[in-house]
Structures are given as structure tokens and as C-alpha cells.
Amino acid sequence: MDKINIFPLILGHINTLRDNSTGKRSVQDIVVFFGLPLLLSFIAFYFQWTLSVEALNGVLASFAIFATLLLNLLILVYTFSTDTVHPNALTKIRGTIVRELHENLAYAVLISIGIVFFALVVIAGLKIPEGSAAAPHAGRYTSFFLNYLIANFALTLLMILKRIHKMLSDRLDQPEMRRAS
């Protein structure tokens, strides 16, 4: 059972939500990454916005592609982490960013896979009423859950993008990289 335990991935992601100046867990980051998607999902639930079968198919296709691309990026980050340079303060910062990036990527892959499986189950369970011209929609609770996961994923993806930018900017700002250009 330990081989499929996903809780270390979730906890690893949560542990990256820290204030860099203090090193303590950031309540503000936790609210943004988990509370904001919850708020957006409640708004969609309140206004009874549900996902149509076409939207579910789009979500399914998009997140299947995201899962694949993020797995490849996870492997790329691994190879970047094994790139050895002379130890210095920048190397320590880079190591921290790579570690956090790894945790965030693993979490994003997990969320992508969860969305794909959940959307697949929902699509399989939708019944098209005979003689109805209207496309079937997922229920409000199903849409709430998918909206939450999608919003959480989008925020995590933005954080991944920022960390990759920071890591590459730090690397490109090194004196030996500036001389090469």
C-alpha cells in the first residue's frame, strides 16, 4: 500500500508554501492555494454553473496532456538537480528551488491524474435522455469538485512557472553564464 500512498506528495506540496524570509509555513499561501479555489467553486455552485459533456471532454483531454507534459518536466528537473557546480550560496538556493519545484510538479501531476480519472468516471456515468436535444451536464457537486481541482491546479502551475523562472534567472545571472553570452 505504501507504493501508492499519495499523502507524501500532498504534504510535500503544502511544505513548499512557506514564507522565504522566516521559513515558516505561510497562512496566506495556504489560503490562496486552497481557500481561493474553494471560494471560486462555491461561487460556481451558488450560480449553478455545471460542466457540460463537451466541457468535461475538454477537461479530460487537456489534463491528460498536462499530466504527460508535467511528468516530462519532472524528469527534466531531476536531471537539472544532478547538474553539479561548485558549492556556493547560489547552489544552496538553487537546490531549495529545485526541491520545491519537484514537490510542486509531483503535486500538479497528481492533481492532473485525479482530474482525468474523475472526469472519465463522470463522463461514463452521464446519461443522455432520449429525445433530448440538450447536452447532459455534470451535477452541481461534481462540478464543484472539478472546479476546485482545476483552480488549485492553475494556481500550482503558476507557482511552478515562477519557480522555473527564478531558477533559470539565477542560473543565467551567474558570472560564467554572462561571459558566455
Q: What is the pLDDT of residues 113-141, one digit of tens each?
A: 999 999 999 988 887 666 666 678 888 99
CA distance 111 to 114: 5
For residue 87, the SS3 value is coil
pLDDT given for residue 76 in this prediction: 86
pTM score of the predicted model: 0.85
For residue 112, the SS3 value is helix
Q: What is the pLDDT of residues 87-109, one digit of tens each?
A: 665 667 677 888 899 999 999 99
% of the chain at pLDDT higher than 70: 83
For residue 52, the SS3 value is strand
CA distance 61 to 75: 22
